[in-house]
Copies of this chain bind each other. A is one copy, B any other.
Amino acid sequence: MAFSPLVDQLLETLRVLPGVGPKTAQRMALHLLERDRDGGRRLVASLGEALEQVGYCQRCRTLTETPLCTICEDARRDEGLLCVVESPADMLAIEQAGGYRGHYFVLHGHLSPLDGIGPEDIGLDQLDERLANGAIEELILATNPTVEGEATAHYIAEQLRGTGVRLSRLAYGVPMGGELEYVDGGTLSRAFNGRLPFAQESS
């Protein structure tokens, strides 16, 4: 035992937070107990409320406490465009980048046969239903540019072959504002293969 039983238990449970080891847990616990009990109480209330009430949007599967999320409810968004992402964080990153005005579908992961994660575990049956109603014209496969994300995108593309839904994938290339010498080789080679005539690079 280090402190009292309740403090020790708090040091242990704080480690459910990603990236929090023993030293950080101690700093957090002492900060809340010694300097910010009101903040701690707000965290208890807010986390408790979110854990009980936040579920998944019935239409796009993102996190929300209402049956439909604000994006799915937004009548001004383009019903013909659907962007498939692995996580709500990816969806948020695309929203914050701005420019996209279609809808989303969140997989909450990617296909991973070795871990027993198959098509239904990432909601592909629900995605099929959504596509079957016919309003979607283009499906943007925005899974991560990783082996698993690529495999998932290919699986979805294969399922949709011949349905008439246009499929697209985010462009690969060197990230804006980066320096070429720090870009990894795989990305650089993709960027070379996908090179555009100079005048069209921003078209």
**Which residues of A does B touch, CB under 8 Å?**
1-7, 9-10, 12-14, 16-19, 24, 26-34, 36-37, 39-51, 53-54, 62-66, 69-70, 87-89, 92, 95-96, 108
Contacts and interface: CB of A to CB of B under 8 A. Distances in A.
SS of A interface (majority): helix
A12 to B, nearest CB: 8
A95 B63 contact: no
A16 B36 contact: yes
A120 to B, nearest CB: 17
A6 B65 contact: yes
A31 B43 CA distance: 16
B49 A6 contact: yes
A7 B16 CA distance: 18
B28 A40 contact: no
